[in-house]
Amino acid sequence: MNPNILTALAVCIVGVLLEGLCAGSGVKRYLGELEWPSFSPPLWAWYTIGVVYYVVVFVCAYRVLQHPATASFRSAALTLLLVIVALNAFWNVLFFRAKNLQATFVFSMGYSVIVIGCWYCLSRFDHLAAFVFGFYLIYLIYANVLGYRLWRLNSGAR
């Protein structure tokens, strides 16, 4: 089997495991305690979003690894993609363990800058990977609006 496929798959598996470890227990209970904006999807849709996220990560990691190590922007794109997977897992610490919605939102803003940087690097040498990753970038606009509204709805200040 192609080692780049195995590596991209390993990145996704490690990401999923890190997310689970960072989220801890009581995830469904905590989600049920929150007041959600009217435009928030149901729980089953969040699972679908998670699967799509890892499909995007897999495709992009595989595509990046297919390029020679000397390709411009390849190292930056790969590094940023790995950082994104790790930071995506860390988001769970702020949201589920610390239960700090304000910190989660602020963190998400910085995270989004890194995602934009990764998309830019991808666009410099692999247009298909950048196109696929662009869907995640567009999703983040929605996710950040949702995160802001979630924080404000649950902060006591309306």
Which pair of tokens denotes residue 140? Answer: 């983040």
Structural domain for 121, as ranges: 3-23+40-153
Does residue 157 register a pLDDT over 80?
no
The DSSP H or E segment spanning 11 is: helix 3-23
CA proximity to 140, closest of 30, 18, 53, 21: 53
Residue 35 in domain: no
Task: Quote the CA–CA distance of 97 and 45 in Å, as a whole number.
Answer: 22
Domain-embedded: residue 47: yes
Does the structure show a pLDDT above 80 at 158? Answer: no
Is residue 32 in a domain? no
pLDDT at 27: 96
- Selection from 67, 78, 85 nearest residue 13 by Cα: 85
Number of domains making up the chain: 1
Q: How many residues does the chain have?
A: 158
Assigned token pair, 80: 């940023």
Judge whether 122 lies within some domain.
yes
pLDDT in the model for residue 156: 72
For residue 89, give the 3-state DSSP assignment. Answer: helix
Q: What residues have CB less than 8 Å from 123, skipping those under 6 apart? A: 130
